[in-house]
Amino acid sequence: MAYSTELADRVRERLSIEGNIEVEEKKMFSGLSFLVNGKMCINISHDNLMCRYDPELEDEVSEKKGFLPMIMKGKQLKGYCYVEPIGFQKADDFEYWIKICIDYNPKAKVSKK
């Protein structure tokens, strides 16, 4: 499983300052996933972030630098995307992606096991 350990450390550090959340790390999606309160929230895949966010933000999110749609079985998965490093190099951009993932987490459904 190839993922950027530096990016994982950055996400880990950022999540550690959030109050009232439980974070679990799990190797999945060919990378490292950060589950927040038992739900997949953000993932590190190679050098990219994989984000889970409110599908209602799709238009806004798709305009962001570094956005790549998540395609599964030939269809775009709304509410999920990859973000290339150019899209989160700046602290404000990184914060944007983390925040939309954390904000959506309470509304997100738990994946089937």
pLDDT tens sequence across 17-30: 998 899 999 998 78
Domain boundaries, the chain: 5-107
Which pTM value belongs to this model?
0.92
Indicate if the pLDDT at residue 94 is higher than 80.
yes
pLDDT tier at 50 (50, 70, 90 boundaries)?
Answer: very high
Indicate if the pLDDT at residue 12 is higher than 60.
yes
Indicate if the pLDDT at residue 10 is higher than 80.
yes
Q: Which fold has domain 5-107?
A: Aspartate Aminotransferase, domain 1 (3.90.1150)
What does the alpha-carbon distance between residue 67 and residue 87 come to, in Å, rounded to a whole number?
A: 7
pLDDT tier at 2 (50, 70, 90 boundaries)?
Answer: confident
**Residue 84 · residue 66 · CB < 8 Å:** yes
Strands (E), 1-113: 23-28, 31-36, 39-45, 48-52, 67-72, 75-83
Indicate if the pLDDT at residue 107 is higher than 60.
yes
Indicate if the pLDDT at residue 100 is higher than 60.
yes
